[in-house]
Structure 1
Amino acid sequence: MTSFIPYASFRFFVLIGVLLLPVILIGLRGRRWQAYNNFLACLMLVLIFGSKPLQLVSLLVFLVWQLTLIRGYLAIRQKHNSAPIFYLMIALSVLPLFLVKLSMDVSALSFLGFLGISYVSFRSIEMLMNIRDGAIKTVTLWRVFRFIAFFPTISSGPIDRYKRFEKDEEHVPSGAEYRTLLYQGLNKIFIGFLYKYIIGYLVYKYWLGSPLLASNSVQSIWLYMYGYSMYLFFDFAGYSQFAIGVSYLLGIKSPENFNLPFLSRNMKDFWNRWHMSLSFWFRDFIYMRFVYTAVKKKWLKDRYLIGDIGITINFLVMGFWHGFLLQYIIYGIYHAIAFITCDRWERFNKKHHLIPKDNKWVNALAILVTFHVICFSFLIFSGRLNFLW
């Protein structure tokens, strides 16, 4: 069976264009053909994973596993709000992802996993956490399946939230509303082509592919740092535009993922602009939960120290999420240090009024400094500095 990796070839866009035509025609009439949408969801999963049977089997086993956990925990939560059971459910939900990340170092586990397991895992974990909080009281398994295995965003996000997704699923856009979604969706897809297949391609071929970057000299590494940062943004942002655009055509407004991240004035600002769906997920479900628990149980008296520990845990988990390789762990630690330094500097400057915030020259300098802090983190992430350790 031919493989259709999402947004990786012109053939995929032709396929998705043909399959979405009934959705578009019906949507313009202010209706939704749910039976066809369900068929399309299943068909796309088969087409995306069908050429690699082990990945398809892994996906199906994963979905059954997660749906069982969600349905089982919901039944338990309605009777008992037990913390140990909640943590057990989270551990069981994370287990498949942990084994897949471990397979990078343990070849015996290499048969596990499928394209997009990291992003799909976030959706099921988020549902378990919302069940724990009482935000989700009932679920329909078919809708949970559509949410977790939503094909436009299955391979690399953006990471949606169940309640937001459920709201879009329940609302059938009018003809006028769908025309707007159609225009916005197509616009995002064309922006995706500009980012990924024009700018990203040119950067990859003529910048990263330049012989000048082949050596490990300071100059070569420095130039590679800029090139890799640009390529990483345009390639990933382009993919995100594709995924969001196709989602819009299905009537689902998947969240934005990037907002001019290289114009960030500090590291806080950067994480509000870069890979936003991931950043906000970690903020809400790791950082905020740790801080809330630490304050509630009075683990420490210093709330700033609690915040710093929370930030460190947040970025360490983010580093491990990318993989168990040293470069990813260092990347996480680097961002934790940069974020905490930014936070402390803001508190110090607010108290002593050393540098005005509204000065355009100060803002320009802040953007320049932040840009280089970011680019160096991507250099670490790329693995180009692995020869140092």
Structure 2
Amino acid sequence: MIPYSSFTFFFILVILLAPTVILGLQGKRFQTYNMMVTVIVLAIIFAAKPASALALILFTIWQVLLIEGYIAYRKKANSGWMFSIAVIASILPLTIYKLLPYFADTNWMSFLGISYLTFKGTQLIMETRDGLIKQRLPLASLLYFILFFPTISSGPIDRYRRFDKDIKAELSGEQYKQLLYDGINKLFRGFLYKYIIGYSINHFFIANLRFIATNHFQSQLFYMYGYSFYLFFDFAGYSAFAIGISYIMGIKSPENFNLPFISRNIKDFWNRWHMSLSFWFRDYVYMRFVFWITKKKWIKNRNITSNLGYILLFLLMGVWHGLEIQYILYGIYHALLMVGYNTFEQFNKKHKWWPQNKFTRIVSIVITFHFICFGFYLFSGHFIQKGV
């Protein structure tokens, strides 16, 4: 069963989370019960795919051993080589999952959520390296963080220290009542986005482009805009479901979208679109790369260093989506946009060519919107297909 894909799934959650709501409104702790709910829901999700369930179990054991092992090692030493080996080992299952389809008929590493779970495991190793995590993590809390079912398939990507703070928080009945209200609100937004707006765009517009468009170029153009809005409402709907269920379970999972289509520039866009992913890549790829290059003094020009960081970041992000040509082109496209905008921004600081006022803000939003939509057109791979 795929999370949030049917009303049956929501019906099951209503039954399973009823005790959580009752305990929460009474101001009693419910996280232990929620851990059991997570195990039950995961069993339901993977019931029809025992091979995927086994892959998930083996993956989780691998990550836990790596994390706890590296935390124990970090107390005694801080070798860069050991850190690199730990990170590579953490992303190894995801790498196998991405490459295996090109060498075998069966992808034995395939299971729902492998990408998001990998981000969590790798993040913990990096934060241990940085000294943010110093003590062995309680096994129950670590497993709960990695396997937290609301965000397993679509994110958002949480941070362990923030997540752990929510687990330990003592909520009064009134505080939980507000969380419950916000969670239900987000669920209704998810239904509106995914099952009404997103479905309508896909079913009534995109599926009928042959009858709406009068020529091939117009058809491609309509598809570009239609797919961009569909992608947003479908993905934002999934995220709203995940965040809403998280709130009901007492976990304030971070927001994933913030009106991305009114972004003023491409940097602003990545601060609004799939925020937990872009912030993850920013913190654990871009910032670490810039710090490393600066520390080694290999490149003295900050702009060049920054641009190389953007290229690395978006190439990795493209490959993370998949090794198909559309994803690689999508990564290259956004890397070029970021480098281009970064160059323009530095130029404008000196020459004040583009003033800041209401008119230029509107123009910037319109221009950015079209660049974004073309990027989603590349991402869709529609240009590879023949016709619409």
Choose the corresponding residue for 2:46, options 29, 45, 49: 49
Pairwise CA distance, 1:104:
3.7
> Does the CA contact (< 8 Å) of 2:31 and 2:249 recur in 1?
no
2 CA distance for matches of 1:310 and 1:159?
A: 21
The TM-score with structure 2 as length reference comes to 0.97
> Does the CA contact (< 8 Å) of 2:213 and 2:222 recur in 1?
no
Pairwise CA distance, 1:106:
3.0
For 1:8, the equivalent position in structure 2 comes to 5
> Does the CA contact (< 8 Å) of 1:212 and 1:220 recur in 2?
no
For 1:330, the equivalent position in structure 2 comes to 329
For 2:57, the equivalent position in structure 1 comes to 60
CA 175–249 in structure 1, closer or farther in 2 if over 3 Å, else same: same
Pairwise CA distance, 1:214:
8.9
For 1:251, the equivalent position in structure 2 comes to 250
Give the letter for the 1:66 counterpart. Answer: Q
For 2:217, the equivalent position in structure 1 comes to 218
**Residue correspondence of structure 1 range 225-304 to structure 2 within 5 A:** 225-304=224-303
> Does the CA contact (< 8 Å) of 2:31 and 2:167 recur in 1?
no
For 2:93, the equivalent position in structure 1 comes to 96
- Indicate whether 1:159 and 2:157 are aligned: yes
**Residue correspondence of structure 1 range 317-356 to structure 2 within 5 A:** 317-356=316-355
Moved more, 274-283 or 170-179: 170-179
For 2:379, the equivalent position in structure 1 comes to 381
2 CA distance for matches of 1:71 and 1:216?
A: 59
Pairwise CA distance, 1:35:
3.2
Partner SS, residue 345 of structure 2 = helix
Pairwise CA distance, 1:386:
2.0
Pairwise CA distance, 1:172:
2.3
For 1:20, the equivalent position in structure 2 comes to 17
Moved more, 112-121 or 265-274: 112-121
Moved more, 130-139 or 266-275: 130-139
Unmatched 5+ stretches in structure 2: none
Pairwise CA distance, 1:37:
1.6
> Does the CA contact (< 8 Å) of 1:379 and 1:385 recur in 2?
yes
Partner SS, residue 348 of structure 1 = helix
Computed over aligned residues only, the root mean square deviation of the Cα atoms, in angstroms, reads 1.4
Partner SS, residue 382 of structure 2 = coil
Give the letter for the 2:332 counterpart. Answer: I
- Indicate whether 1:79 and 2:76 are aligned: yes
Partner SS, residue 209 of structure 1 = helix
CA 56–207 in structure 1, closer or farther in 2 if over 3 Å, else same: same
Unmatched 5+ stretches in structure 1: none
Moved more, 15-24 or 106-115: 106-115
After superposition, the C-alpha distances for 1:214-255 in whole angstroms (9 at most, x for unaligned) are 998211111100010000000000000000000000100000
CA 324–344 in structure 1, closer or farther in 2 if over 3 Å, else same: same
For 1:172, the equivalent position in structure 2 comes to 170
The TM-score with structure 1 as length reference comes to 0.96
Q: Which runs of 4+ in 1 moved over 4 A?
A: 213-216
1 CA distance for matches of 2:75 and 2:95?
A: 28
Partner SS, residue 319 of structure 1 = helix
For 1:308, the equivalent position in structure 2 comes to 307
For 1:362, the equivalent position in structure 2 comes to 360
Pairwise CA distance, 1:213:
7.2
For 1:205, the equivalent position in structure 2 comes to 203
Pairwise CA distance, 1:173:
1.2
